[in-house]
A and B are shown apart, each in its own frame.
Chain A
Amino acid sequence: MSDAAATPTRTLRGLLNARRGRNGRTHWTDVFTYLYLAFGIFLMFGPVIWLTMSSFKTSSALLEFPPTFLPLGQIEVQVEGYDKPLPLFEATLEDGTVKQLAQVRRIGIISQMVDPANPGEKYKVPINQRTEVREFRMAWDNYRDPLERFDFTRYLYNSVVVTVVATLVTLLINSMAAYGLAIYEFRGRGAIMMFVIGTLMIPITIILVPVYLVVTSMGMINSLWAVILPGAATPTGVFLLRQYMLTIPKDLIEAARMDRASEWAIYWKVVLPLAMPAIAVLAIFSIMWRWNDFLWPLIVLNRSEVYTLQVGLNAFQGELDVQWHYILAMTVVTLIPVTLVFAFLQKFITTGIASSGMK
């Protein structure tokens, strides 16, 4: 950040106009850099944008080949003498003229059409001689239906509860463990730390069944606690925070001790505020882990009122019928909170991960 302050040209415009070549000329590395960056953006954002666009398509439009980029819908017109609006087509007539006609009904391969401007005149057009007239139209139903009918708001709420509570619990107990392992010097401290890190090597598949048994015997199945508690103590978190706390000068802890601070006060008022960069990093990690967690919630949550978003999404995937339009729409909903977290905390991510933090 000090760099930014030092170079006044580092505004958005300054950045965009920046050239490696001298005197504002474009060097070949400028071209290369922009191409490379553009490729990177395409690679990373392409799928997300495609997903967002697709989430506004109707289920039939999704199955169309070749696919369209924008969500499109067929235009319907109100024609005099007909109760319902009629779909609009561009038809090539026998004499070769092209006209926009509304379809009244379709019989076999022949479509009976009418000119909206002149409802009295009727045409018979083979269906391969007409194409739909479409406009940009977003299928908001993809969002409305799951959120209203399928109780997706409930899943959203569950996911938020799990993520927030689990992250708070994780931060609290991991930082307390890290405090113990960083601030106190006792016999076996290194061994305990190795043991904690060693648990990183055990894959979740191995502990899945034992943990499930424990959770069952504690009667937590189908409650959100079954998702929150088992993963609350993470070796990664303890390690991350502990290593950071080791960099806090010992003098500060001793000064606090001389200042009559209780151990809790030292932890809460001195060490935690100073470990904020590391805490922020762990918070971001924890939020991402919890939000995206699928396997464990799928195992312990069997009733739809306790589903999290990820499990809820899975419910759209039937054995025979996959409701892609709902899955895509709800995936977008699922992405929003993580994106927001990243947007607001990304300063901490970069400073925290690169953390020399404070001196």
Chain B
Amino acid sequence: MTRIRLSEVKKAYGEVEVIHGVDLQVDSGEFCVFVGPSGCGKSTLLRIIAGLEDITSGSVIINGDTVNDIPASERGLAMVFQSYALYPHMSIYKNMAFGLENSKMPRTEIDNRVRAAARMLQLEDYLERKPKALSGGQRQRVAIGRAIVRDPRAFLFDEPLSNLDAELRVTMRKELATLHASIGGTMIYVTHDQVEAMTLADKIVVLNEGLIEQVGTPLDLYNNPQNAFVAGFIGSPRMNILDARVETGKAGLVLRAGPCAIAIPPVDGLAPGDKCSFGIRPEHMDVTSPDRADLIASCALSEQLGGETYLYCEVEGLPQITVHRPGQLSVSEGEEVALSIDRSKLHIFDRNGLTLANGVPS
């Protein structure tokens, strides 16, 4: 089993630094997902671990050995690329066997391993075909198979599902989860799709502009984001984040954002007069009667999906507010809706975006 540790890793292309010192520990057998917006450095970080990119400073440590100067081919890791990167001139069998041939494995052993992996991934009927003759999902499975047969120290996935259509992506996601459960290797997975991150990960690493914003289990990130970026990034649809000013209220403080005022008990680090922001997830808002409402908004768009309803509401001077409720709501467009906020799910951030409170007593 393999532990991978990054220590103070920095990467610069010429003058431009893209990774600004990353410390990270991926434990043995863990499914670790790097997630972040485009250009946040998640793929670069994965390629650094793979050995396909050099680092400017810091160290990459695999099982206690610093591997900074060890080339990709010697690190014993396997990678699945976004483009699958199957060798177009080789049959599926050859594609899977290529890595094993390079490590001078006996032919019978290669054959056993390739056939075992093909059985596992339901590719047995396609072994003699060229990659061109396979569908996207099958190619993806071949790419995974090519990684599996090598029995690598760790698996690296670089946005492996992003070239597949939505339906196939869900299927493959499940297959990946099953795969991890059955072979149990250390896996690092890069994606910009937070649904993949939430469903697959043991541990999510949220990256932004070359820095780690937060590391934690999916639900930990969802419930207790450390800052406004993570709060906004994790969860779909996005958390509503509103800028507010703190005022004194009857029983503590009031967060005032435009026409909306939210009374909260005193919070450490928040004083009257401060600028701050607060966030509330769409599913933690409710439609209520006007006398108990925290804010009155007009519904700009309502999406009725049958099992759930999304309301996109507008309040003057505030960004659009999304409300997500289970079941069917009889709210039509243009109608006024009274919304209440679940205080126990309210996230409060200071002016720098750092979390002050994840949920306040109501």
Report A's interface with B, CB cutoff 8 A.
249, 251-252, 254-262, 265, 269-270, 273-274, 358
B273 in the interface, Cβ–Cβ < 8 Å?
no
**Is A260 in contact with B52, judged by CB distance below 8 angstroms?**
no
The smallest beta-carbon distance between A244 and chain B, in angstroms, is 14
Can you list 15 contacts pairing A with B, beta carbon distance less than 8 Å?
A: A251-B82, A252-B87, A255-B87, A256-B98, A257-B71, A258-B78, A258-B99, A259-B146, A259-B150, A260-B102, A261-B73, A265-B102, A269-B98, A273-B89, A358-B88
Closest residue of chain B to A270 (Cβ to Cβ) is B87
**Is A257 in contact with B73, judged by CB distance below 8 angstroms?**
yes
Residue from B78, B83, B99 in contact with A251 in the complex, judged by beta carbons closer than 8 Å: B83
Query: B93-108 vs A: 1/0 string, CB under 8 Å?
Result: 0000011001100000
Counting chain B CB atoms within 10 Å of each CB, which of A255, A262, A269, A273 scores highest?
A255
The smallest beta-carbon distance between B68 and chain A, in angstroms, is 16
- Give CA–CA (A273, B90) in the complex, Å: 9
- Give CA–CA (A261, B72) in the complex, Å: 10
| B231 proximity list for chain A (CB < 8 A) | none
Given known contacts A273-B89, A274-B88, A358-B88, A261 and B83 CB-to-CB distance under 8 angstroms? no
**Is B89 in contact with A259, judged by CB distance below 8 angstroms?**
no
Which residues, 79 to 135 on B, are CB-close (under 8 Å) to A?
79, 81-83, 85-89, 98-99, 102-103
| A259 proximity list for chain B (CB < 8 A) | 73, 98-99, 102, 146, 150
The smallest beta-carbon distance between B183 and chain A, in angstroms, is 18
The smallest beta-carbon distance between B70 and chain A, in angstroms, is 12
| A260 proximity list for chain B (CB < 8 A) | 73-74, 99, 102-103, 150
- Give CA–CA (A258, B84) in the complex, Å: 13
**Is B87 in contact with A249, judged by CB distance below 8 angstroms?**
no
Closest residue of chain A to B47 (Cβ to Cβ) is A254
| A252 proximity list for chain B (CB < 8 A) | 85, 87
Closest residue of chain B to A358 (Cβ to Cβ) is B88
The smallest beta-carbon distance between A351 and chain B, in angstroms, is 15
Residue from A255, A256, A258, A273 in contact with B77 in the complex, judged by beta carbons closer than 8 Å: A258
Given known contacts A260-B99, A260-B103, A249 and B83 CB-to-CB distance under 8 angstroms? yes
Counting chain B CB atoms within 10 Å of each CB, which of A251, A259, A261, A274 scores highest?
A259
| B71 proximity list for chain A (CB < 8 A) | 257
**Is A258 in contact with B50, judged by CB distance below 8 angstroms?**
yes
- Give CA–CA (A91, B97) in the complex, Å: 85
Given known contacts A251-B81, A254-B52, A261 and B88 CB-to-CB distance under 8 angstroms? no
**Is A254 in contact with B85, judged by CB distance below 8 angstroms?**
yes
**Is A258 in contact with B83, judged by CB distance below 8 angstroms?**
no
With A251-B85, A260-B103 known, 18 other A-B pairs at CB within 8 A are A249-B83, A251-B83, A254-B50, A255-B79, A255-B81, A255-B85, A255-B87, A256-B98, A258-B72, A258-B73, A258-B79, A258-B99, A259-B73, A259-B150, A260-B99, A260-B150, A273-B89, A274-B88
Which residues, 243 to 302 on B, are CB-close (under 8 Å) to A?
none
- Give CA–CA (A257, B50) in the complex, Å: 10
- Give CA–CA (A260, B102) in the complex, Å: 6
- Give CA–CA (A256, B79) in the complex, Å: 10
| B82 proximity list for chain A (CB < 8 A) | 251
The smallest beta-carbon distance between B104 and chain A, in angstroms, is 10
| B74 proximity list for chain A (CB < 8 A) | 260
| B81 proximity list for chain A (CB < 8 A) | 251, 254-255
- Give CA–CA (A249, B52) in the complex, Å: 15
Given known contacts A255-B81, A257-B72, A262 and B102 CB-to-CB distance under 8 angstroms? yes
| A358 proximity list for chain B (CB < 8 A) | 88
Residue from B72, B87, B89, B99 in contact with A254 in the complex, judged by beta carbons closer than 8 Å: B72
- Give CA–CA (A270, B81) in the complex, Å: 16
- Give CA–CA (A251, B156) in the complex, Å: 14
- Give CA–CA (A19, B4) in the complex, Å: 69
| A257 proximity list for chain B (CB < 8 A) | 52, 71-73
- Give CA–CA (A254, B88) in the complex, Å: 14
Counting chain A CB atoms within 10 Å of each CB, which of B52, B73, B78 scores highest?
B73
- Give CA–CA (A259, B142) in the complex, Å: 14
- Give CA–CA (A261, B150) in the complex, Å: 13
Closest residue of chain A to B50 (Cβ to Cβ) is A258
The smallest beta-carbon distance between A245 and chain B, in angstroms, is 14
The smallest beta-carbon distance between B154 and chain A, in angstroms, is 11
- Give CA–CA (A259, B98) in the complex, Å: 7
